A and B are shown apart, each in its own frame.
Chain A
Amino acid sequence: MAMKLTPYEQEMLDGKHGEAKQFAMRAMIKIGEPLGAEEFVEVVSVQAMAHFGSLHIAGRDYMRKLACMGGKCCVPCTQDPASIPWDTWEEMGYDREYAANQMDLCKSVMQLGEYHAWSCTPYVQGNVPRVGQNVAWAESSAVSYANSVLGARTNRTPAGLAVCAALTGRIPKFGLYFDENRKAQVKVVVDAGELSDLDYNTIGIIIGKRVGNYIPAIYGIPASTTNENLKYLGACAASSGSVALWHAVGVTPEALHGDPFEGREPVMEFTITREMLTETEKSLCTKNPGEVDLYVTGCPHSSVAEIVKLHELMKGRRVRKDKDMWIFTTAEACNMMRRSGVVGELEAAGVRMMVQTCLVISPLVGNGKYKTLITDSGKNASYLPSEHGIELIYASMEKCVEAVTEPV
């Protein structure tokens, strides 16, 4: 059935507002109609993608084409981390042609009017939709956060489609844009005593593996939990499965009051115990780790509070000569922590700030320099070994710091 368009949407499709909007509308209709969308929703923001590591030459040319067509974003549009650190790629030995392609992509999306955000955590950069607002976000961890923690609405918007939403302020209405598709389907009880930061990652990994793309309602998460813990839980469930929305009963906005199942029986039910957490932690480590040569943290990007925690742990310690420590974070958090004096001290202790970029999508790991990584990110642990063929140890921030540092 043909999608019903408003007069303005019809004008965009007819090319009255430029070639780029026309291209975007046509593509979105070709995707929305067969999926059963009857109309578009207006979105208040977009999280797009413009990292060369995933867009490749095809995506670079696509963004160039939209920019040449005169495309302009009509809602705030941020994008995932870049595949290179803008200021340090050269000294770190990134390939020149690869970097040039990333810079080409940057030029195109800036021309389109995207913000120079380059983070998987747009929700700490001012791209913060309210409960019930529609957005079109890419980045599975950000989708999870927007839906679950903020109570905004988005499907898992693919790279390449998100930019169409940014150019038009529209996305086909289906899936999680409907109230009735947001109810809990699986009951998960967390019964594992006091939860550490790492536990939230592990809980997410277990949930993603068990529930696939169902919507879980999680019982047993304390209301005092931090946004960072919820960020990791969601990012991990999205990387080991395809969870785009989850509810933590008594914690997240759509599960504060009433029954998250609305009277329907859960399709599945399970309990996460301490034994399961311990077992899963072990399973996330690869079989033959050697001596650790690199600690990576900040997947998704480290917040200010996480940098402060790491700074505390680094008091009186420094990174060993034969090892490295990288913190992946936003330009905003790095800037604030630099002004606070924290980044200066961390750098003096041998820590490298990796700003506006990401390890998972960078070409740096897997080139032979680093063989065994240690990380406190479950998302890193579930992606890196398969994607970059490296050995990995998954452990708490405390253990990670210990593994690559020594007393001053």
Chain B
Amino acid sequence: MAEKIILHGRALAPGVVEGEALVSKESLVWSHGVNPPTGRIVDVRVAVCGQCVKDKILVYPLGKGSTASATWILENTRCGNAPKAFLNRETELIILTGAVLSTELYGATIPVVDRLDQNPDEVIETGDWVKVDGDRGIVEITKKSV
């Protein structure tokens, strides 16, 4: 039986989804940092450059950079390349706006949870299977088998 970890945090955007985690130890900038038509991270300054965010449970510490980023997230949604959920130490207004507008304009469900009882970018590794309950702020992690 694979190891399971349960974390509790602040539920910011609703919905229940599960999928594979993509974890960045560094903060991500969406504006010019993720290419909407492909969903690929193109910011050469981060280690996850080249990875695709599509359908991933995207985990990173904080949002930073341009206030234009919310509409970059929205365009990823329009192109079908949005992540399934966001998990942050502290979610910025930019990320939450991107998720909420994705719901309001495209009917997408992108739960967002932050302020978990452990730092998600330390507990979760890329490839782990993660279930995110954005209604209750609960995250269930199944570590990938090694």
Contact = CB atoms under 8 A, between A and B. Distances in A.
Interface residues of A, number: 42
Contact of B32 (A62, A65, A157, A386): A386
Contacts of B68: 49, 51, 54-55, 80, 138, 158-159, 361
A161 B104 contact: no
A158 B94 contact: yes
A383 B69 CA distance: 14
A155 B71 contact: no
B78 A23 contact: no
A49 B68 CA distance: 7
Given A23-B104, A35-B96, A158 B44 contact: no
B12 A35 contact: yes
Contact of A58 (B10, B78, B96): B78
Contacts of B100: 27, 30-31
Interface string A150-171: 0000011111110000000000
Interface string A24-68: 001100110011000000000000010100111111011001000
Interface string B58-82: 0000111111111110110110000
B98 interface: yes
Interface in B87-146: 92-94, 96-98, 100-101, 103-106
B71 A386 contact: no
A160 B62 contact: no
A138 B67 contact: yes
Contacts of A160: 70-71, 74, 97-98, 101
B40 to A, nearest CB: 14
15 contacts: A27-B101, A31-B100, A35-B93, A54-B31, A55-B68, A56-B72, A56-B74, A61-B105, A138-B67, A138-B68, A140-B67, A158-B97, A160-B97, A161-B70, A387-B32
